[in-house]
Structure 1
Amino acid sequence: MASDEVRTTVIVITWRGRAHIDACLAALSAQSRPHRTLVVDNASDDGTAPLLAAHPDVEVLRLPRNVGYAGGLAAALPEVATPFVAWLNDDAAPAPDWLEVVEGNLSRTPTAAAATSVLLTPDGEVQSTGVRLTADGHGADATGTGAVFGFCGGAALLRTEVLREVGGVPAEFFCYYEDTDTAWRLRLAGFDVVRTEATSTHLHGASTRPGSALFHRWNEGNRLLTLLRCAPAGVAVRELARFAAITVLLPWRKLPHPPPNLRAALRLRVLVKVALLLPAALRARWRIGRAARVSRREVWAAWAGR
């Protein structure tokens, strides 16, 4: 097929993905739509590099250090010249018609800037149909059939120029919440996120361990940063104050076996991270608000708690 038919660059972020990235690349090779595949290798030291070299149809951007999923996406975005850009985890294996379905849905929905996928477990159970916004500002997996607030970054398609216009990808997040933050900014800019039936099998947590202390540090810190950047001021201040208050009270609760997210030391590290990144977050908040076509209150009222 002619090169001008290629409308999507699929960005695959990998770090020590040797055990599972072959399945991802094989699934991309079987797609019914032509596309460009760009793998961002986050300085893998497990033999991923020679494995990627064995795929001549795959372009590789090898980074000198691990900058995480968000950092890898941010590094790759300047290399994208196609109208659409796909985000794909290296432990995801999309169905052969995945790209055809998400491209079709996004192409015929001019008000939308992103299209979700249905992520399935290896057993075929629905893991995610997108992201919902909870009443306290968490971005959580949606699993129903209704409209979604945002897309899950494990397998999604976005309009490249719109992504750039709303500020790209927050590289400082490292991983987690880069999708929720981006969905917030797209909606503030007046765009929709369209839910599709495109499917992808997802191992989930092949590179990180959900529920681990490190997971909770990234997750909790990036949730607060997303709220500071995108949410109504009252919501952002309330949730930051609540997080700090719970942290202060934890030593007196004497929980016998607290989960990582209820350990005072971990939460203090989250607060330190947020404090260090607060000036940048507030500058981003100003830029996001200045460009917004929909108010933060409107987006929150429409989606929080649904």
Structure 2
Amino acid sequence: MAKVIFVTGGAGFIGSALLRHLFQATDYTLVNIDKLTYAADLAALSDIEASPRYYFSQTDICDRAALDSLFQQFQPAAVMHLAAESHVDRSITGPADFINTNIIGTYTLLEASRAYLQQAPAAVNANFRFQHISTDEVFGDLAGSNDLFTESTPYAPSSPYSASKAASDHLVRAWHRTYNLPILITNCSNNYGPYQNREKLIPLMISKALAGEPMPVYGNGEQIRDWLFVEDHARALLTVLTKGKVGQTYNIGGHNEIKNIDVVKAICALLDELAPKQHSTFNTKHSTLITHVADRPGHDQRYAIDASKIHRELGWQPQESFASGLRKTVIWYLQNRLDL
């Protein structure tokens, strides 16, 4: 019988990419547990939704009774936990949802997993994994240094979003230490690729440019991020699940430190090259649409991931450069999301 894997937040951007990869690369039975918030997009799973290997449950991870029922029904071999509120701007204007989903939701899922294992056969306990997918934003700001985030970098979150994710990381480690729950943690850099919510930088800039609207860049745009193509991230998560050592943390990065303003300029250059007139309302250089706006409160200036551990110990490295990944992303939006 094929293993059953729970993926929480599987209708989200990274979760759906992970489910598509798991479907293609394994014979696992996949259970997508998602509340279906504004960021969910079940269309991203249209290629697998009819398969008998895929199940969808519209469930809030804060609903313990619903989670207990799913554990009893499917008897999973692993939980890959991606369900989270993740938009920094939204966390600044409305932090309550972030505290509820990212902290209370993670706690509830940990407890449901622990209760499941207490009654599961020894063989299930020996092989079960709780994989928690987190962010490099928990480490704070590297402004003014040439350092990289390592797995041992002290936490220093700056926003309600990153603080709530930091709290969830701490809970997962505590459940491993106190209750011996077999956990794995990953902290990733900025993801991009097909099906990303339009509030995020790259799809927002693409949609604004195609509409001939101002492309808003926070402050001077000098903020630096390490960009990771979402399909590379999905490969990394499966690698950690199957090869990672229980209790360990693995940083996942794209080896692409780029200033936000340079990301936006690269998008403009690709659209100048690739967007025929029927795809864009703008008839001159898209870069003339770049507009600088007031900076985000508490905006971190630089994130940079040291992903040497996952390469050294598990053999993973990204397949896409930023140039190749961004080209694939822009082409995908031109072909699939002209309504954005």
TM above 0.5, yes or no, is no
TM-score, length-scaled by structure 2: 0.29
TM-score, length-scaled by structure 1: 0.31
